[in-house]
Amino acid sequence: MAKIINGKEIAQKVRADVTKKVEKMIAQGITPGLAVIIVGEDPASQIYVRNKERAAAKAGINGQTIQFPTDVSEVVVFNKIQELNQDDSIDAILLQSPVPSQIDEEKMQSAIDPNKDVDGFNPLNIGKLFANRAGYYPVANTPKGIMTLLAETQVELQGKFVVILGRSILVGRPLFALLEAENATVALLHRYTSDELRHRLLQQADVVIAATGVPGLVRGIDLKAGSVVIDVGITRLPDGHLTGDVDFLAAQDTVAAITPVPGGVGPMTIATLLQTTVELAAKHHQMELQEL
């Protein structure tokens, strides 16, 4: 039977560390500020926003959510980003994805000040990540949280073969860069990967990270004995339950460890968002993180 990786518990550890750092910052007169812009009512985004607001408040972070209606014009969102870029009380800005079609998401991501870019979507930060540059820059929170989860679970990456399913800028692509930087050999699969090739690659994978939003895409028979499975997918079923991309029950018989949905990667994303907010606030105010 597989070990169930407890994302909630590891996230709690990250959040305790964040809370401690925030207390020290507040003692020096600085309250980290996080602004979240959300346009319309995507269901996955609504879960994220709700959980995030609660977690930010608990950690002592000043969180504000700016909700725009689905038909808001691009210039209104753009001007809001400019205003937040100028606002000294805001250290971190997040534009929730996806946005409606009248808004050019890439243009908005590029408009966010790279020093306040808590999702790491500004091309400057993406470029640094893919070049594996030294120094601090923000990296997307779901991939960054997964790296923490793997480290906390003592999963070795150097020399291992990792298969990622899904190549979005939010999850798959940054993960590719982060895992490669740890000296793993990485395959990035997508919609055009044939069923046959996916099965063959999965059977050889030491670590599988599924981030497609396709329930059941990864079956028990695809997986290698002793592998580690990270399920990022979140789909709401008609009965209201959440499910991942992996056939969890079948996988459990084969693999060494697996993350559940919910209670796996989701809580890590939230905790890591708070962590990155604090890191950006420290940098903004020229504080040394190590001393916090």
Ligand X SMILES: Nc1nc(=O)c2c([nH]1)NC[C@@H]1CN(c3ccc(C(=O)N[C@@H](CCC(=O)O)C(=O)O)cc3)C=[N+]21
Binding-site ranges for ligand NDP (CB under 6 A):
44, 142, 165-168, 170-172, 189-193, 211-214, 217, 232-235, 265-266, 269
From the number of C-beta atoms within 10 Å of its C-beta (0-12, 13-18, 19+), residue 196 rates as exposed
Closer to ligand NDP by Cβ: residue 85 or 235: 235
Closer to ligand X by Cβ: residue 97 or 292: 97
- Binding-site members for NADP(+) are 166-168, 234
Instruction: Please identify the residue of the shown chain whose CB is closest to the bound ligand NDP.
Output: 213
Alpha-carbon distance 115 to 180, whole Å? 25
119 annotated active-site: yes
Residue 115 near residue 283, CB atoms below 8 Å: yes
3-state secondary structure of 144: helix
| Residue 107, token pair as written in the block | 């243009």
| Residue 228, token pair as written in the block | 């580690």
Q: How far is the CB of 266 from ligand X (least distance, A)?
A: 2
The residue type found at 245 is D
Considering 21, 91, 96, 116, which one is annotated as catalytic? Answer: 96
DSSP 8-state code for residue 246: B
96 annotated active-site: yes
250 binds, among ligand NDP, ligand X, none (CB under 5 to 8 A by kind): none
Closer to ligand NDP by Cβ: residue 133 or 236: 236
Question: Site residues (CB under 6 A) for ligand X?
Answer: 44-45, 47-48, 51, 94-97, 119, 141-142, 170, 234, 242, 261-263, 266-267, 269-270
119 binds, among ligand X, ligand NDP, none (CB under 5 to 8 A by kind): ligand X
Q: How far is the CB of 29 from ligand NDP (least distance, A)?
A: 33
Q: How far is the CB of 27 from ligand NDP (least distance, A)?
A: 31
What is each CA distance from 202 to 23, 75, 163, 190, 248, in whole angstroms? 44, 44, 7, 13, 15
Alpha-carbon distance 104 to 192, whole Å? 25
Question: φ, ψ for residue 21 (rounded to 5)?
Answer: -65, -40
Q: How far is the CB of 224 from ligand X (least distance, A)?
A: 25
| Residue 206, token pair as written in the block | 């030491």
Considering 91, 117, 119, 245, which one is annotated as catalytic? Answer: 119
Question: Which residues are known to be catalytic?
Answer: 52, 96, 119
